[in-house]
Structure 1
Amino acid sequence: MKLKTTLFGNVYQFKDVKEVLAKANELRSGDVLAGVAAASSQERVAAKQVVVGNDRSGHPQ
């Protein structure tokens, strides 16, 4: 699984599947307190893009 994507001109690299799944979730206070939430809505969208396996054009890889 490719754990890297480019979105809005920024490159998002995730270290493992666990990080991608945590950051792809909608914002939850527990995730924020645990330090596993996405830093921004853009990072959340990038993580979701990695989970579904789409490239920047929206086509499956």
Structure 2
Amino acid sequence: MRIDRTTLNRNIKPLIEAGFIEVNAGVDPRSRQILLTAEGKSVIYVWKIVRQERWMKREKQM
């Protein structure tokens, strides 16, 4: 995937600082591996629940 390095860094920096993702060295010295942390996974889990609840609420209103 080709993404401008400055754009990518600007977008993931808040996620790293919040502890949601971590960046490790990749197989190739030019690459990086971006992983979800346990906290990041829990945030996604909660987000999915909230999204589903909002969707169901919206459906009931229609």
Band of TM-score, shorter chain:
under 0.3
| Greater Rg by CA | 2
Higher RCO structure (Cα 8 Å, ≥6 apart)? 1
TM-score after normalising by structure 2: 0.20
TM-score after normalising by structure 1: 0.20
